[in-house]
Structure formats: structure tokens, C-alpha cells
């Protein structure tokens, strides 16, 4: 399945590259390849936008229903059948499917992994010819070759870590949870950016560029979602 999506996304990247390379003159600082990665990442995120919005809505509803869920669990802790029936009734009343969150993640994961593989092996999925790939300019800003890791740790690795932290922070801002869950979330908000920073130091810069642009898109998207889904809290009361 990864190869299937990889060929599709590789074709998309090649289409964008051909389009970009047909316009104007290539800059020494902004290669067609680097610009194509940015534009393809944005297009890729736009394609996943309906799924992401549904996931955010599902998460928001689940968060708002937590007090009622916990109340039902306490009240019927010795009667599992009634507890399950009451929970299903609550979900139905609020138009919520408890399996939707997992299903959405299962849909997104192979697609994201496929795009990751496209940028790790652009000859196979995008250009099909190593001579063509070797001939293109792969520099971008201070990075001489997007096929290689960023030579500066303060560059894309740092941006990847910072944008990951901001994205994680935004996604957890409106989550009401118990102290233990909040403690776990805080640890994730710290360790995940560190892991991304460490990985980005050795990954091809093209992947790091994709990660940074994707995070920036997700941050803007989350800001909009946090405002647009404000009515859900009223609907679930």
C-alpha cells in the first residue's frame, strides 16, 4: 500500500516540479526542487484537510463528553451492560462515533508514510531516472543539497523541533484531562520535539523541509479549528 500511495504522491511531486521549472529562471537560493517540496507538502495537506478536520472535531467532542462519560462509568461501574448502553446513548445523542478517531488515523498513517518514503527515495518515486535526478539543483537557502542532512543544527532541525512543539502545544491547549494525563502530555510536548530534532540532524534535508512546512500548515489549521469548533462545547452540554 505504501508503494501504491508513494507512486501517486511521487507523481504529484513530479507534476509540481515540472510546472515550477517551466516558470521563470531558477534562483541559486530557491531551487525548483525545494519549491516543489514546499508546494507539494501544502497540496498534500490540503488533500488530507477533510480527514484532519473530522479528526479534530471528533477529538473535541470526545473531550467535551469526558465529564459525562466519567459520570456514567462511576454510576454504573458494577453494571457493565447498562454502562455500555448509556455510553452508546450518549454517543448517539451527540452524533459521535468512538471508533472514528482510530479509523481516521489508520487512513492518514500509510499516506503520510508514503510521502515520507517519496522524499527518501525520489529517484524511484519521482524522477525515475538517476541521471535526471543528479542533474537538478537540490540546494535551498543555506542548504547545498536537500538530499543530505542540514549542515547546521540551528537550521531545519531546530525549526522542525520548534514547530513540532508549537503544534503539540496547540493541540493539547483545549484538552481537559486528569492530572496524570496532563503530566503525560507535558512530557510528550518536551520529548517529541527533542526526538524530531535528533532525527532531523541525520535525515535528508528534503524530509526536514517537508516536516517544517507540514507543521506550519498544521499550526495555522489548528488555530482556525480551535475557533471554528468553539460551538461544539455548547452543543454537547
pLDDT higher at 229 or 39: 39
Q: What is the Cβ-side half-sphere exposure of residue 70, based on CA atoms within 13 angstroms?
A: 9
- Express each pLDDT in 100-147 by its tens digit: 556 556 666 777 788 888 888 888 898 988 988 888 888 899 989 888
Supply the pLDDT for residue 230. 56
- Express each pLDDT in 79-97 by its tens digit: 788 888 888 888 887 777 7
Cell matching residue 194: 527533542
Q: Is the pLDDT of residue 151 over 70?
A: yes
Supply the pLDDT for residue 121. 87
CB atoms within 10 A of CB 165: 18
Cell matching residue 140: 535551498
Supply the pLDDT for residue 232. 46
Total residues found in the chain within this entry: 237
Q: Is the pLDDT of residue 202 over 60?
A: yes
Q: What is the distance between the alpha carbons of residues 169 and 219, in angstroms, rounded to a whole number?
A: 10
- Express each pLDDT in 24-78 by its tens digit: 777 878 899 999 999 998 988 888 788 777 777 777 777 777 788 888 888 777 7
Supply the pLDDT for residue 25. 79
Supply the pLDDT for residue 2. 64
Cβ pair 160, 217 in contact under 8 A = no
Supply the pLDDT for residue 227. 72
Most confident by average pLDDT, 7-21, 48-62, 185-199: 7-21
Supply the pLDDT for residue 174. 52
Amino acid at each position: 500500500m505504501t508503494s501504491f500511495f508513494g507512486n501517486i504522491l511521487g507523481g504529484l511531486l513530479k507534476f509540481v516540479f515540472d510546472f515550477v521549472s517551466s516558470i521563470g529562471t531558477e534562483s541559486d537560493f530557491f531551487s525548483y526542487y525545494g519549491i516543489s517540496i514546499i508546494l507539494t507538502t501544502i497540496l498534500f495537506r490540503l488533500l488530507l484537510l477533510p480527514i484532519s478536520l473530522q479528526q479534530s472535531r471528533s477529538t473535541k467532542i470526545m473531550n467535551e463528553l469526558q465529564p459525562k462519560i466519567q459520570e456514567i462509568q462511576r454510576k454504573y461501574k458494577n453494571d457493565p451492560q447498562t454502562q455500555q448502553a448509556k455510553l452508546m446513548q450518549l454517543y448517539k445523542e451527540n452524533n459521535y462515533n468512538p471508533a472514528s478517531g482510530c479509523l481516521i488515523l489508520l487512513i492518514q498513517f500509510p499516506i503520510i508514510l508514503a510521502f515520507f518514503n517519496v522524499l527518501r527515495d525520489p529517484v524511484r518515486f519521482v524522477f525515475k531516472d538517476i541521471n535526471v535526478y543528479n542533474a537538478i539543483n537540490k540546494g535551498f537557502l543555506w542548504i547545498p543539497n536537500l538530499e543530505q542532512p542540514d549542515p547546521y543544527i540551528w537550521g531545519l532541525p531546530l525549526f522542525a523541533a520548534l514547530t513540532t512543539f508549537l503544534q503539540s502545544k496547540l493541540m493539547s491547549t483545549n484538552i481537559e484531562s486528569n492530572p496524570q494525563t496532563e503530566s503525560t502530555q507535558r512530557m510528550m510536548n518536551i520529548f517529541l520535539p527533542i526526538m524530531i530534532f535528533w532525527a532531523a540532524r541525520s535525515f535528508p534535508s528534503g524530509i526536514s523541509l517537508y516536516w517544517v512546512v507540514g507543521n506550519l500548515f498544521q499550526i495555522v489549521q489548528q488555530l482556525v479549528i480551535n475557533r471554528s469548533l468553539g460551538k461544539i462545547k455548547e452543543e454537547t452540554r
